[in-house]
Amino acid sequence: MTRRKPPRPAGVAIAGTGMAVPDKLVTNDDLAQLVDTDDEWIVQRTGIRTRYLADNGVKTSDLAAKATRQALDNAGLQPEDLDLLICATMTPDVICPATSCRVVRKIGAIPCGAFDINIACTGFVAALGMASNAVESGQYRHVALLGADCLSTIVNWEDRRTCILFGDAASCAILSPCDDENRGSLYQALGSDAERGEALFVPRDESDIPPCVDASTTEKPGWNGMYNTLQMDGRTVYKFAVNILAESVEKAMDACDMTADDIKMVIPHQSNIRMLQSSWKRLGFPEDKISVNIDRFGNTSAASAGICLHECITQGAVAPGDHLIFVAQGGGLSWGANLWRL
Ligand SMILES: CC(C)(COP(=O)(O)OP(=O)(O)OC[C@H]1O[C@@H](n2cnc3c(N)ncnc32)[C@H](O)[C@@H]1OP(=O)(O)O)[C@@H](O)C(=O)NCCC(=O)NCCS
């Protein structure tokens, strides 16, 4: 007898969310003790006022496990209820085993399925798509998706162009099947362009440095003089991000025949407040429809959109039935969007 495919659920619901940051709060004034910068420059150029940084051996998987436990609590589920856990990270604890496997162990969910994805700051949006497709297929019931990064472990703390931007954090959402066919992902898209990959990259050694990066001088954008740390051409990334954010949101709304009036909240990756403001101005979106928390957390890479989601839900800014657009961009260069009915 042939096995029948499991029934597909009518819809997919976000059953619970969670987030975690390390204990150490770092202000712009604190960073001014390390590099030649000041609070005014950082706030004006980025909108960042504080960020949390991991120390004392805190790993990406520690933050990820904490966020997952909170999401499970909020969903009213136990660790053993999870069928799959997907962790988006570019700062895994170690190369192998995957951070997702470590999270499964830390929360007591063995033998839950687990895998990592690495698509930098686009991670949460990419994982959201993978997780919702997994639930929608009927093959997995409860799926945890995470964005978790400790970028503090891969920045050069002498490079003021990059070290002021990032914070460490994790966020988690649990997706579960539901009876309402209108709930879940209505549109999802991912894109990448490695032709511009070296605008934001982490080279291991000199063989990874392409001709477009001038490694003879740290005055040039894209090289800070240290391997295994984040190299960034800030202006190139900035221009790319403003355009791709607006374009991705427009495409999502067009595909679903919606306008800004139909969207309750845009949940963007938090990279720079000026970038976000330029994109929304171009789209004609009112600012109160854009979730922003970069002032408190900095750019938390794969975690940031999930933190916004968690705050929007727990603060009652969004409710079942609302349409949300998740949108993100980052290293790769990569980007992604997901129009979701809560
Ligand atoms: C990084 C970023 C804030 C820099 O802002 P900018 O307006 O482009 O600034 P520039 O790089 O042109 O630098 C302007 C000046 O400020 C200086 N500067 C750079 N970082 C500084 C800092 N932390 N404090 C003070 N001065 C700084 C530069 O050295 C430069 O000085 P100069 O004019 O004497 O050469 C901005 O480019 C950005 O946000 N880019 C996107 C980065 C990003 O989001 N990355 C992650 C994507 S997921």
pTM of the model: 0.96
Q: Where does the chain hold its CATH 3.40.47.10 domain(s)?
A: 11-182, 185-341
Average pLDDT, the chain: 96
Predicted pLDDT of residue 215 = 81
Strands (E), 46-167: 50-53, 82-88, 113-117, 142-149
Q: Active-site positions?
A: 121, 269, 299
Instruction: Say if residue 177's pLDDT is above 90.
Output: yes
Report the C-alpha gap between 123 and 127 in whole angstroms: 6
Residue nearest to atom 34 of ligand 1 (CA): 219
Instruction: Say if residue 135's pLDDT is above 80.
Output: yes
Q: Which amino acid appears at position 163 of this protein? A: C
- Which helix (H) or strand (E) segment is 19 a member of? strand 11-20
Structure token pair of residue 206: 């000199």
What homologous superfamily is domain 11-182 in, according to CATH?
Thiolase/Chalcone synthase (3.40.47.10)
Report the C-alpha gap between 64 and 19 in whole angstroms: 8
Between 89-93, 167-171, 183-187, 221-225, the lowest mean confidence (pLDDT) is in: 221-225
For residue 221, report the distance from its CA to the centre of ligand 1, in Å. 10
Instruction: Say if residue 338's pLDDT is above 90.
Output: yes
- Are 63 and 20 within 8 A, CB to CB? yes
Q: How confident is the model at residue 133 (pLDDT cuts 50, 70, 90)?
A: very high
What homologous superfamily is domain 185-341 in, according to CATH?
Thiolase/Chalcone synthase (3.40.47.10)
For residue 31, the ligand 1 atom closest to its alpha carbon is 23
| 45, 91, 125, 238: residue to mutate for ligand 1 pocket, most atoms within 8 A of CB | 45
* Model confidence pLDDT, tens digit, residues 276-288: 999 999 998 898 9
For residue 161, report the distance from its CA to the centre of ligand 1, in Å. 5
> What are the residues whose beta carbons fall under 8 Å from the beta carbon of 231, sequence distance 6 or more?
198, 200, 201, 202, 203, 213, 222, 223, 224
For residue 45, report the distance from its CA to the centre of ligand 1, in Å. 7
* Model confidence pLDDT, tens digit, residues 29-41: 999 999 999 999 9
Instruction: Say if residue 1's pLDDT is above 80.
Output: no
With a Cβ cut-off of 6 Å, ligand 1 is lined by 37, 41, 45-46, 121, 160-161, 164, 232, 234-235, 237-238, 271-272, 299, 330
Predicted pLDDT of residue 210 = 85
* Model confidence pLDDT, tens digit, residues 267-325: 999 999 999 999 999 998 898 999 999 999 999 999 999 999 999 999 999 999 999 99
Give DSSP secondary structure letters for 125-137.
HHHHHHHHHHHHT
For residue 230, report the distance from its CA to the centre of ligand 1, in Å. 14
Predicted pLDDT of residue 311 = 98
The share of the chain scoring above pLDDT 90, in percent, equals: 90
For residue 163, the ligand 1 atom closest to its alpha carbon is 23
Q: How confident is the model at residue 126 (pLDDT cuts 50, 70, 90)?
A: very high
Residue nearest to atom 24 of ligand 1 (CA): 37
- Give me the phi and psi of 174, to 5 degrees please: -105, 125
Report the C-alpha gap between 37 and 298 in whole angstroms: 16
